[in-house]
Structure 1
Amino acid sequence: MNQDIFDYFANKEYFDDHDDWISEHLDKYFQSEEISVFHEFIAFDFKVHIYFIQPKKYSFNILLSSGMSSLKMNVPDEVENKKELEFSELMMLIPKDITFSEVYTGESKNDYLISMLKHSAKFPHFNETWMGIGHTICADENYGPYSNETNFVGGVLLPSVTFDEDFTKIKREGTIINLYTFFPLFKNEIKYKIKNGYSALFDLLIKSNMKETFDNNRNNLIPKKSFWNRLKL
């Protein structure tokens, strides 16, 4: 199985310079001592590293993937501005009190947040599809949570309300790498979005005055009773 995965990704066209673009882009906004990286040294598919940025000027820290954009996503021809959507990376704003071990193992406290981004960043390339604003992804097909530390089972890609396009669009040599916010969702929120669409979910986010910064204890956008009543409509 691992050999099949290795062979599949070995034949892909890689854009390795995008990793350098991301690094140079971050250097414009943050001090070197504020940036560290959880490197993926060995992978049978392709490597996704995670930046851990601890900016002094903000009340939050940032997790940002680097490696998703090393491969071109399979954006359908009918999608408007297709060329501008072929490369992307994912980020999460997280509270300052969330800490990590020095080395990512996937088993330490809060590692599920890093795993969440890595899993989502690899999804479009494993499935020969693409991800953009409004797209949702689940941890697994059975709506299981990412770990026993959280009840989130998936997430939706959102435009950042904290950073403007100067930060969220890396433009180099006629190419754009989009930085999307990954916003984790509960099971009934995912199902609501699938049934009612992205606009309906986005309206709930606005009405709830939901913050972009990750909150593992946030209120569910759709109380269960309300959700089941909606399904009966």
Structure 2
Amino acid sequence: MSKSTEYSESGSPIYRYRDRQHEWRSPEYGEEEWIEKIEDHMRQHIGEIDSVFHEILSDVVHIDVNVIKPTPERNYYTLFTTGMSFMPMNTPEGAEGYEYAELMICLPPDWRISQEDLQNPDHYWPIRWLKMLARFPHDYDTWLGWEHTMPNGDPAEPLSQQTGMSGIILLPPLEVNEDFLSLDMEDGRTVHFYAIVPLYSEEMDLKLKHGSDPLLDKFEEYGINEILDLNRRNTCKAG
């Protein structure tokens, strides 16, 4: 990992990560009770888990992606990880209590999610990003949390052929009860849940130059939430 001394115009540190330094390591698996608490939390606040994309070959941590199907009340897929929270992240001073996290993404109800469909990168990329980001802090001895952003490469390229968005920001989901945002594991540890929200490059630039507040103001103005819309308005472009 490259520990960068580079800063954005808003004063936030920018880290550039190269190939990870460690050798292949046997993965950490969560205790059954730990996983059940996360699954029960999801059932209570979002819905029944329909299926799981189990990871066959794991390194460092074992990441599974769980699928909750659309319902009349929540007419979109919710995909969430289990595994990121099996190990603590290396949080900096001031971020105590945020060592444990899991990620989610919400996809429109017509998203093609069969095993056959997921052979197509245009359909698979949300799962790839969930797995990549969930493993990322453990691969690079770092952390991920609220308002962290990541471009899709350097220079950033579109996340798929179906959208112009080329990066992501992690945000607390909006379409949930506030009690959903964190889970007290009753042993002194707390798991926080973050949604992956794709960004256009202009939105990423705004965040880097002026911090998160102006971007989040625009998201609120235009009703942007965690439910993916591949063709949503670019909040930093006129018209």
Cα shift at 1:171: 1.3
Structure 1 CA distance for aligned equivalents of residues 163 and 20 of structure 2: 29
Is residue 2:82 matched to residue 1:66? yes
1:222 aligned residue: 236
Cα shift at 1:95: 1.3
Unaligned runs of 5+ in 1: 227-233
Unaligned runs of 5+ in 2: 1-18
Whichever structure has more helix as a proportion of its residues is 1
Choose the corresponding residue for 1:43, options 53, 58, 62. 58
Give runs of ≥4 in structure 1 deviating > 4 Å.
1-4, 29-32, 103-106
Q: So what's the TM-score if we normalise by structure 1? A: 0.81
Distance 1:220 1:158, change over 3 A: same
Cα shift at 1:139: 2.4
- The letter for the 2-side match of 1:215 is D
Is residue 2:92 matched to residue 1:76? yes
Listed one character per residue, the Cα deviations across residues 143-175 of structure 1 (whole Å, up to 9, x for unaligned) are 122333332221111122111232221211222
Is residue 2:170 matched to residue 1:157? yes
Number of aligned positions between the proteins? 217
Distance 1:98 1:105, change over 3 A: closer
Choose the corresponding residue for 1:113, options 126, 129, 133. 126
Cα shift at 1:112: 1.1
Structure 1 CA distance for aligned equivalents of residues 44 and 177 of structure 2: 14
Choose the corresponding residue for 1:198, options 212, 215, 229. 212
Structure 1 CA distance for aligned equivalents of residues 136 and 113 of structure 2: 24
Is residue 2:19 matched to residue 1:6? no
Q: Is the 8 A contact 2:47 2:68 kept in 1?
A: no
Structure 1 CA distance for aligned equivalents of residues 126 and 44 of structure 2: 25
Structure 1 CA distance for aligned equivalents of residues 83 and 52 of structure 2: 12
Distance 1:117 1:124, change over 3 A: same
1:94 aligned residue: 107
Percent identity of equivalent pairs: 29
Cα shift at 1:77: 2.2
More divergent stretch after superposition (212-221 vs 138-147): 138-147
* RMSD between aligned residues: 2.7
